[in-house]
Structure 1
C-alpha cells in the first residue's frame, strides 16, 4: 500500500471493483480496501447479470479483482475505519493502523440485511429464506412458499411471489392487514395464516415448514422475509454524510446515503455507489453505478489536473503584475 493514490475505493464488491476498473483503465492510481464481507456471500449464484448468469458471487468478485490488477489497480484486505478531509484530499485509516492518502474517495460499502428475529431465519438466509423474487424466484418456482409478514411490504411481496408459484401463504405474524390488502390476497388465492411465527423447521438440511407459537406447523419449502436494509455508512458519517431513513406507509424499511445520479455526495470529493446509496440495486445495477461513479471521478480529477497545471503560471503572472504596480496583488489577477 502506497502513501498516495488518486482514488481510494472502500468496498470490493461489484460497485467498488467496477468503479476501480474504470479508473485504472484511465491510468489513475487506485487502491481498493476490501473488508471481505459481501452482502450476497450466502447466496449460491448471481442472477440477472447478463453473460454472467448463475456465476457464484465469490467467483464474480475474483474475476473482477483479476481485471483490476491487470490494469494496475491495487487491493488490500482490511476494513477502512476512518477518513478525514486533509489539504484538498483525504486520509484513510485502516483497522490495522495503516493510513494512506487519496485525492478522491469512492465508498461502496453496501448495506446490512437486518433479519427478523425468528429462529432459523438467519441460518437459512440466501438458501431457502429469500427476499427478492428477481434474485431467487426462478429457483423457487412452483414450490410451497411462505411470506413472513414483518412490515407493510408483505402484501406486495406475496403478490410478486404469486407470479412464481400457485402455492403462496402469508404468515400474518405481527402485522395487521386492512380490508383492501386482504381483498388483494384473496383475489390471487393467497391464504393468510394468523398467529405469531416461532421458528422454521429444518430437516436433513432443508426447510420443511414454519412453526407457529401455537405449535402448529405449516409445510413450506421456501420462506420470504423483508429485512431492514441498513446502509453501512460509518465511514461516511465520519465525513459528515448522514444516511436518511427510507419509509413505506410510515414504516422505516432501511436507510441510504443521498447522492446524485453519478454518485456524487454533498461532500466534495466523495462518491458512493451500490447498495450504500440504493438498496434496490441488484449486482448488475451496482456494477453499473460503480462504472458511472468511476467515470465521474475521473472527470473531476481531469479538471483538478488542469487547475494544478495552471497554478505555476498564475503565480508567475501574479509576481509579474506585482512588479509592475510596485506591490502585491490578489492571486489570479
Structure 2
C-alpha cells in the first residue's frame, strides 16, 4: 500500500507525528518495534496534564488517537529505508511487505549505555536514574548518590544540579580523577565526595539502600543518579546519507528536516536531552513540516494535471502557487 507518511518509532515523538499527520488527512502508518527507551520507568513526569502516567498507558493512548484519526499502527521492525524513484521511499520491514511512502519521520530514539557497575542495570528506571527533571522531585530530601562515569562533564554537572533536590548528596568519582578545581566546586556546593572505585549498588529487598566501594565501605543512599553515554538509533538515517554533525549526531533544522529531501527526524534520535514532552512536540512539528512539503508536491501535481487536460492556468493563479511555495520555504516548512 502507498502512504503519504511512514513514521518509524512508536514513542512520544513518533505517535505525535502520526497523530498530526492523520489529523492532516494524510495516509499515515506508524511502525513500532515495541522497545521504548523508558519502558523500565513506572511513571512519566513533567508532561503537562499527563504527569504521573505510566509510559505504557501514554503510548496506548497515543496509538488509539492515531488510529482514531484514520492512521495505522504496525508492530514490526524497520530494516531499511530505500529511495524509490516512483513514489519517494520504500520502508523495508522485518516481517511484512515494504511500505511505499512519499515522506518519512524517523523517531527511533536512543539507547543508554550505563556504567559497568553491578546492580545499575537491574535498578535502572527505578531508583537508579539519570534525569533530575524527570525523577528529582520524587527523591527530594533523601540521601542521593551521583555516580561518575565515562561522560565526565555530564556527571560533574549532574552532581551540582541534583543538589537542588536534596541537601544530602554524595558524589562517587569512581574512575574519574578529580582535579583541585573540580573538587573545590563540589565541596563548595555542599556535596560530599566518596573516593574509590564503586563495586555495586546495594539492594535491600526491593529498594536500593546504598553504594559499596572497593574497600568494602557501604554508603547509605536511597537513589543514585548516573550519566549514561547516549547512543542514537540513527542507522536508518545515516544509511540514507543524512548529514552528520561534528558531534556525531544527525543534523536537522528546527522542524526536524534532515539533509535528505522527504526525511524528517524527531525526538531522542537527534536530540539526546529531549524529555517525553519535548519529543512529542518535536514529532508534531516534524509532521507539520512534512505535510507542507507534501502540499507543495500536491499543488505542483495538480497544476500539471490541470494543464494536461487543457485547463486554463492564469498568470494570477500561477503567482499564488509560487507565493505558497516560497512562503513555506521562508518559514522552514519546506
Contact 2:243–2:258 under 8 Å retained in 1: no
Moved more, 172-181 or 158-167: 172-181
Paired residue secondary structure (1:238): helix
Deviation track 1:128-157 (CA, whole Å, cap 9, x = no partner) reads: 001110000000111111111112222211
Within the alignment, does 1:33 sit opposite 2:31 as a pair? yes
* TM-score in terms of structure 1 length: 0.89
| Paired position in structure 2 for 1:220 | 221
Whole-Å separation in 1 of the counterparts to 2:96 and 2:46: 39
Whole-Å separation in 1 of the counterparts to 2:176 and 2:309: 71
- CA shift, 1:241, in A, is 2.3
Unaligned runs of 5+ in 1: 247-254, 318-333
Within the alignment, does 1:132 sit opposite 2:131 as a pair? yes
CA RMSD, aligned part only? 1.4
Paired residue secondary structure (2:240): coil
- CA shift, 1:245, in A, is 6.0
| Paired position in structure 1 for 2:280 | 287
- CA shift, 1:179, in A, is 2.0
| Paired position in structure 2 for 1:80 | 78
Closer, same or farther in 2 for the Cα pair 1:243/1:144, shift >3 Å?
Answer: farther
Whole-Å separation in 2 of the counterparts to 1:244 and 1:11: 22
User: How many residue pairs were aligned?
Assistant: 307
Paired residue secondary structure (1:309): helix
| Paired position in structure 2 for 1:42 | 40
Deviation track 1:96-136 (CA, whole Å, cap 9, x = no partner) reads: 15211000000000110111111100100010001110000
Closer, same or farther in 2 for the Cα pair 1:140/1:243, shift >3 Å?
Answer: farther
Moved more, 286-295 or 232-241: 232-241
Moved more, 44-53 or 173-182: 173-182
| Paired position in structure 1 for 2:101 | 102
Whole-Å separation in 1 of the counterparts to 2:123 and 2:252: 33
Paired residue secondary structure (1:224): strand
Unaligned runs of 5+ in 2: 311-334
Q: How does 1:251-330 map to 2 (within 5 A)?
A: 255-313=248-306
| Paired position in structure 1 for 2:233 | 232
Deviation track 1:9-52 (CA, whole Å, cap 9, x = no partner) reads: 00011111111111111100000000011111111111111111
Runs of 4+ aligned structure 1 residues displaced above 3 Å come to 242-246, 312-317
Deviation track 1:223-280 (CA, whole Å, cap 9, x = no partner) reads: 110001111011112211265464xxxxxxxx53210000000000000000111111
* TM-score in terms of structure 2 length: 0.89
Within the alignment, does 1:208 sit opposite 2:246 as a pair? no
Contact 1:35–1:79 under 8 Å retained in 2: yes
Contact 2:243–2:259 under 8 Å retained in 1: no
Whole-Å separation in 2 of the counterparts to 1:30 and 1:97: 16
Contact 2:103–2:263 under 8 Å retained in 1: yes
Whole-Å separation in 1 of the counterparts to 2:186 and 2:290: 47
Moved more, 50-59 or 212-221: 212-221
Moved more, 26-35 or 154-163: 154-163
| Paired position in structure 2 for 1:90 | 89
Whole-Å separation in 1 of the counterparts to 2:111 and 2:244: 13
Contact 2:5–2:102 under 8 Å retained in 1: yes
Q: How does 1:166-181 map to 2 (within 5 A)?
A: 166-181=167-182
